[in-house]
Structure 1
Amino acid sequence: MSTLQDRIGRYGIWSIGLRSEDPSRRGELGEAAAELEDLGYGAVWLGGNSAPRHALPLLDATGTLMVGTGIQSIWDYGPEETAASFAEVDAAHPGRFVLGLGVSHAKLTDQYRRPYTALVAYLDALDSAGVPAGRRVLAALGPRTLKLAAERAAGAVPYLVTLEHTARAREILGAGPLLAPELKVVLETDPDRARTLARETLAMYLTLPNYTQNFLRLGFTEDDLADGGSDRLVDALFAWGREDRVRERIDAFHAAGADHVALQVVAEGTRDSLPREEWRRLAALLR
């Protein structure tokens, strides 16, 4: 039987635009997913607080594409509800859905209490409900949660991380578990324009302590976090520039220990747009 690493391949797309509650967008989402499959991407990660049901339009329209939640908050969906939804999606598309779980952020929920303990209890409940550990991944940043991802899940999908974090995560996870970091890509060669687009995206994350504390653990300073983020921070978190430079950055994440890199395009437009032309350009440079 193939492993999760084999099934999701080396490259995927992370997109909040591919997750929608609007039934009128079902055809649009399915068409985009089918093209991503044709372009050779192995997986799609549904950005935002997605749930298993959000994967169905994409799974219905494709034959081999893996679809994962990136990331479902444990505070917003109970484990029993999640297990039932997982079973429904898996029955319709056996083996093609991956449950990505995380503890979100204190600013985004009033339920945020002892997040690590709550995550362990959630995994216990999923075990009892029959959700296999090999089909779930954790949005792990810190050492304890990365260890938990190795012990209680198929691996980790760290979000907004650097090459150094990827190397550290691989050391903590060990050789077997999946490591699939998310990497933001700006297909823009002008440094000022590229960094401006990057900072527009980064601004929200710089208000969330889970991320800023992780940056400080990695050796960045409070000065790096000020005024929209220093060039040093932006350049560590985003791949931008000529296409050969972007390819080199993606390759560097694999060299640092990633099995799969989930690529999130940053471009003009709203967060829920579908940058299909940029997805095509990325696919071409990855061949």
Structure 2
Amino acid sequence: MSLAFKPAGEGLRTRIFHIIFESHTPASKGFDIALIIAILISVVVILLDSVAAYHARYGELFSLVEWCITVLFTIELALRLYCLERPWLYLKSFYGVIDLLAVLPAWLVLLVPGAHSLVLIRLLRVLRIFRILRLMEFVGEGQLLLDALRRSTRQILLFFSSILVLVTLFAALMYLIESPETGFTSIPQSIYWAIVSMTTVGYGDIVPVTPLGKAITVVLMLTGYSIIAVPTGVFSAQVIRSLREERYSDEACPGCGYDRHEKRARYCLRCGTWLDEDSEDPRKQATSDDQ
């Protein structure tokens, strides 16, 4: 993240920037660990507070802990914006939006009037669960997975569009074949049945009774089994591609043209040629010194 954002200036802002956005110094590592602990405590409190028995017994304690963490997250967000050269760029980023979702609901609750808004208050409180998404910031593979999802978006959307067409066709057939008494009262209702059947979930609330309807159901279930692994394969291929790009360099060896070297490799795996063309081979330098 430090490569995408720059500190606002020298001095205090730069020191805060290195502590918050870097992870190489003891202070920055301690900050990251403290932030992870605060996120986990906050999520655990939200989960336990949703249990009626725990809320009745420990509601005040949960509220106190939650407000303390909210104040800490608010201060942390303010410091992030304070030390950045372009704070609005961070607010528009993925983690900037998550930071806002982590603190805004708690403060908005104070502005919501009266008991008639209890449903809205509950919704705002549950939105704070998005804090757990901030844990992705501290996982090195998190960005890799996001890149893989971004690259496979078009293929997955095309896959789901094809599935939607297929499901609609099967649903229309079942709406014509089965009677409304069996649950197929409309095409949208039949689409619900087709999706449940294709994913092999099988709730059993809508069941065909005619032989032709049962035969179509068998075909739909077998089709679901045969294509259920398609999005997984697409995503896995993109993950492998991201891993290769992260580990391997695409620069070819100047000696033999081989281009499958690791980024940290100094010499060619095949011919032993020095790969860094901007610097001199230390072996040649050592040989010339010996002569």
Q: TM-score of the superposition, structure 1-length normalised? A: 0.21
| Higher Cα radius of gyration | 2
Could you say which structure has the greater relative contact order, defined with CA pairs below 8 angstroms and 6 or more residues apart?
A: 1
Structure with greater proportional strand content: 1
TM-score by length of 2: 0.21
